[in-house]
Amino acid sequence: MTNTRSTEKETQRRNEKAADLLAEGIQPCEVVKMMADEFMCSKQAARKYVEKGKQIIIDDINPKDRAFMFAQAYNNVLQDRLDAKEAGNLNVQSGSTKSLIKLITSVTTLDQVGCWDSEVEASDLNVFKNFSDVKSKTHRHSDLDALDNSDLPF
């Protein structure tokens, strides 16, 4: 490892190199090792290059293309899950379910603006409440059946 700091230009080049390796399909942990070896830097520094590389890849994709790619990946994983269910392969079925969950949770990373807009629209449904108001308006319900038609957000 070297003790010298890389220049801004070198850092950008390293971030782009990490993005290129990730785009080739190499696993992030492998890219970290490769970057640390090639540039004689710490693994922590290499992890930062990989994180910036991931962001470069995300930023380079047109938002409309992201939506199409997400839908395509979602449909493929869903089809894999259905095929595994039909074949009775529980391992692949559960792996596909995990992949679906991962895809769904990645939406906030892929479409930050769209997720923000949907949160703002949801604010009309009192998703973002002032916590002091909520704390002062505590309701106790002894009859849980009375909650069936209530306006609770969950």
pTM of the model as a whole: 0.49
d(Cα 28, Cα 103) in Å, to the nearest integer?
17
pLDDT tens digits, one per residue of 110-144 = 555 555 555 555 555 554 455 455 454 455 556 66
d(Cα 88, Cα 82) in Å, to the nearest integer?
10
d(Cα 117, Cα 112) in Å, to the nearest integer?
9
- Sorted by where each begins, the domain ranges of the chain are 1-60, 62-132
Residue with tokens 């949160």: 119
Give the pLDDT confidence score for residue 127 in this predicted structure.
46
Poorest-pLDDT segment among 17-31, 101-115, 118-132: 118-132
Give the pLDDT confidence score for residue 4 in this predicted structure.
65
- The helix/strand/coil state of 4 is coil
Q: Region 73-89: what's the mean pLDDT?
A: 92
The token pair that represents 51 in the structure block: 């994180």
